[in-house]
């Protein structure tokens, strides 16, 4: 039977929209809808496909609006000095909306779940599950999403534990298994294919929205679409676990003596499955008892990110608390290399120069980098005024601690200044900005007095003195 003639009962439409069934074949899990025996009338699969394309934007924007209302309600409750139980309940409601929406909304929620400067403690406490237990499936459920060939290869080499996934992020589940040959514990990471389809739709939706917003006068000379396209590309690439495994091996190599532990990648890997070393006893940074130890770990995280970016040219865009953990002896463990990319030598050195200009309050050097890397400069560009405005921005920004500095606010002002004076800024720094923005929330919570600009200087100087990033 062709897809065009396949019919689905209306009672299953909601199940198909929520569970992301295979619309190419029209197949729906038998337990997807409680009213599956009710047949009011039939809708063809092509019509359901068109309905999904229309309803997904409605679902996403509706969910974002609902999440904003929930956050606002929690802030109001905290301002009135009470309602911890209700705030906790609102946090649980937030998580339920995120799980129901899935896709790109989960990644946004994970970043929000780090922002102790924006959200209340009681509300944040309910969001910790989004970092490593966003979704849970048994090993059998995860294996059913794989091809028969991949399942057979896994079963031949590994014995899976029949328990819900230990770590479950926005894109994949991680299950514990035993190597049948060596007896070693292995972590098996399996992509969630339903989430992949929805995330790709969300990326397309976001690109279309950015394209339309970019046509507005407000965003003239601001490369909004190009910047969004760069981020969306990285989000989609995270679903290729073969690429992630290769990246993980390379980063483990360059950080071999860096005091950080990265799980060894096993030989079994493809686009949907990645096998790696299992590390027992991992604990979140939030569970560290003493403030001095927590501040020390926060410093290690920041220095690690700086070393990756400025010295080696690697950008890890998912530095949230679910991916930066501690092993039983207190060593930092870095996980999840799906949202990791490489920046070129020119971009690496230009970013280092600009960071040094901010840290040393040198707007002239900052302007030099801006003009050198700008996508375009109009004939009406007022460079003198731009330098003057940069002086004001740098004076307000230089040597600020984590609690005093807001990266998003700084980047917004920087883009607007360039656009106002006829300079169309580069998108080459988009991914590093995202990486720093993801870590920023954790830094504000773990070590709010850290001077992240001063901490960058040794790595920036090393980046400008060597060419390692081009070859490592």
Each residue's pLDDT tens digit, 404-415:
888 888 988 998
More confident residue, 355 or 77: 355
Q: Is residue 53 very low, low, confident or very high in pLDDT (cuts 50, 70, 90)? A: low
User: Distance between CA atoms of 333 and 323, rounded to whole angstroms?
Assistant: 8
User: Distance between CA atoms of 272 and 245, rounded to whole angstroms?
Assistant: 11
Mean pLDDT of 253-258: 84
Mean pLDDT of 84-109: 84
| Residues 468, 311 contacting (CB under 8 angstroms) | yes
**Helix-strand-coil split of the chain, %, nearest 5:** 55, 10, 30
> If you average pLDDT over each of 123-132, 140-149, 299-308, which comes out highest?
299-308
For β-strands 172-179 and 185-191, DSSP reports them as antiparallel
Q: What percent of the chain has pLDDT over 90?
A: 23
For β-strands 158-160 and 172-179, DSSP reports them as antiparallel
Q: What are phi and psi of 167, to 5 degrees?
A: -125, 130
Mean pLDDT check: name the lowest of 259-273, 327-341, 412-426: 259-273
Mean pLDDT check: name the lowest of 33-47, 113-127, 231-245: 33-47
Give the H or E element holding residue 414.
Answer: helix 407-420
Residue 418 pLDDT more than 80? yes
Mean pLDDT of 394-423: 88
Q: What does the pLDDT read at residue 367?
A: 93
| Residues 66, 96 contacting (CB under 8 angstroms) | no
DSSP 202-226: HHHHHHHHHHHHTTSGGGTT--HHH
User: Distance between CA atoms of 308 and 313, rounded to whole angstroms?
Assistant: 6
Q: How many CB atoms are closer than 10 A to CB 320?
A: 21
Q: What does the pLDDT read at residue 52?
A: 56
Q: Is residue 457 very low, low, confident or very high in pLDDT (cuts 50, 70, 90)? A: very high
Residue 430 pLDDT more than 90? no
Closest CA to 29 of 165, 189, 141, 164: 141
Closest CA to 94 of 130, 58, 60, 59: 130
Q: Is residue 337 very low, low, confident or very high in pLDDT (cuts 50, 70, 90)? A: very high
Mean pLDDT of 100-122: 82
Mean pLDDT of the chain, nearest integer: 81
Mean pLDDT of 372-381: 88
Sheet holding 324-326, edge to edge: 260-261, 332-334, 324-326, 283-284
Residue 12 pLDDT more than 50? no
Q: Is residue 196 very low, low, confident or very high in pLDDT (cuts 50, 70, 90)? A: confident
Q: What does the pLDDT read at residue 235?
A: 87
Q: What does the pLDDT read at residue 35?
A: 37
Q: What does the pLDDT read at residue 225?
A: 83
Mean pLDDT of 40-69: 66
Q: Is residue 63 very low, low, confident or very high in pLDDT (cuts 50, 70, 90)? A: confident
Q: What does the pLDDT read at residue 91?
A: 86
Q: Which long-range contacts (CB under 8 A, 24 or more apart) does 15-24 make?
A: 16/48, 16/52, 17/51, 17/52, 17/55, 17/59, 18/100, 19/194, 20/102, 20/194, 20/195, 20/197, 20/198, 23/48, 23/49, 23/52
Domain ranges of the chain: 7-127
Rg for the chain, CA atoms, rounded: 24
User: Distance between CA atoms of 2 and 24, rounded to whole angstroms?
Assistant: 10
Sign of CA dihedral 113, 117, 120, 121: positive
Each residue's pLDDT tens digit, 346-375:
999 999 999 999 999 999 999 999 999 998
E strands along 378-470, which residues?
Answer: 423-424
More confident residue, 10 or 420: 420
User: Distance between CA atoms of 472 and 470, rounded to whole angstroms?
Assistant: 6
Closest CA to 27 of 51, 45, 46: 45
DSSP 326-391: E-TTS-EEE---TTEEE--HHHHHHHHHHHHHHHTT-HHHHHHHHHHH-SEE-TT--HHHHHHHHH
Q: Is residue 286 very low, low, confident or very high in pLDDT (cuts 50, 70, 90)? A: confident
Q: Which long-range contacts (CB under 8 A, 24 or more apart) does 118-124 make?
A: 119/71, 119/74, 119/75, 120/74, 120/75, 120/77, 120/78, 120/87, 122/74, 122/78, 122/84, 122/87, 122/88, 122/91, 123/71, 123/74, 123/78, 123/87, 123/88, 123/90, 123/91, 123/94, 124/91
Residue 306 pLDDT more than 90? yes
- Strand partners for 191: 172
- Strand partners for 269: 274
Residue 78 pLDDT more than 70? yes
Sign of CA dihedral 446, 303, 280, 149: positive
Mean pLDDT of 159-178: 78
Closest CA to 228 of 10, 434, 35: 434
Q: Is residue 29 very low, low, confident or very high in pLDDT (cuts 50, 70, 90)? A: very low
Q: What does the pLDDT read at residue 383?
A: 92
| Residues 233, 341 contacting (CB under 8 angstroms) | no
């Amino acid at each position: 039977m062709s897809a065009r003639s396949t019919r689905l009962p209306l009672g299953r439409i909601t199940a198909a929209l929520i569970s992301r069934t295979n619309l190419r074949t029209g197949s729906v899990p038998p337990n997807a809808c409680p009213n599956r025996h009710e047949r009011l009338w039939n809708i063809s699969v092509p019509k359901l496909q068109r309905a999904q394309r229309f309803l997904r934007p409605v679902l996403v924007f509706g969910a974002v609006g609902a999440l904003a209302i929930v956050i606002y309600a929690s802030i109001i409750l905290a301002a009135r000095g009470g309602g911890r139980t209700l705030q906790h309940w609102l946090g649980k409601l937030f998580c339920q909306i995120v799980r129901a929406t899935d896709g790109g909304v989960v990644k946004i929620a994970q970043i929000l779940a780090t922002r102790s400067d924006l959200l209340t403690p009681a509300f944040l406490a309910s969001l910790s599950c989004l970092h490593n237990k966003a979704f849970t499936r048994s090993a059998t459920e995860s294996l059913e999403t794989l091809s028969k060939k991949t399942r057979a290869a896994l079963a031949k080499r590994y014995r899976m534990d029949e328990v819900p996934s230990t770590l479950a992020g926005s894109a994949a589940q991680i299950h514990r298994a035993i190597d049948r040959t060596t007896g070693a514990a292995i972590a098996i990471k399996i992509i969630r294919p339903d989430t992949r389809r929805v995330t790709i739709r969300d990326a397309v939706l976001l690109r279309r929205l950015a394209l339309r917003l970019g046509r507005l006068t407000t965003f003239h000379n601001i490369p909004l679409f190009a910047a969004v396209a760069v981020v969306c590309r990285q989000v989609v690439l995270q679903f290729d676990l073969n690429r992630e495994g290769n990246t993980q091996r390379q980063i483990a190599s360059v950080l071999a003596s860096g005091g950080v532990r990265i799980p060894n990648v096993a030989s079994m890997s493809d686009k949907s499955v990645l096998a790696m070393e299992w590390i027992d006893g991992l604990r979140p940074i939030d569970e560290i008892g003493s403030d001095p130890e927590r501040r020390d770990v926060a410093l290690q995280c920041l220095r690690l990110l700086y070393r990756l970016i400025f010295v080696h040219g690697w950008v890890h865009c998912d530095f949230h608390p679910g991916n930066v953990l501690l092993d039983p002896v207190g060593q930092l463990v870095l996980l999840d290399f799906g949202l990791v990319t490489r920046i070129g030598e020119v971009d690496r050195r230009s970013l280092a120069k600009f960071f040094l200009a901010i840290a040393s309050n040198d707007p002239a050097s900052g302007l030099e980098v801006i003009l050198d890397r700008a996508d375009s400069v109009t004939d009406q560009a007022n460079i003198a005024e731009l330098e003057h405005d940069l002086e004001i921005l740098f004076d307000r920004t230089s040597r600020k601690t984590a609690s005093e500095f807001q990266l998003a606010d700084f980047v917004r002002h920087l883009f607007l200044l360039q656009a106002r004076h006829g300079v169309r800024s580069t998108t080459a720094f988009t991914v590093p900005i995202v990486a720093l923005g993801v870590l920023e929330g954790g830094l504000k919570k773990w070590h709010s007095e850290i001077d992240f600009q001063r901490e960058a200087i040794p790595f920036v100087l090393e980046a400008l003195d060597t060419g390692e990033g081009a070859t490592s």
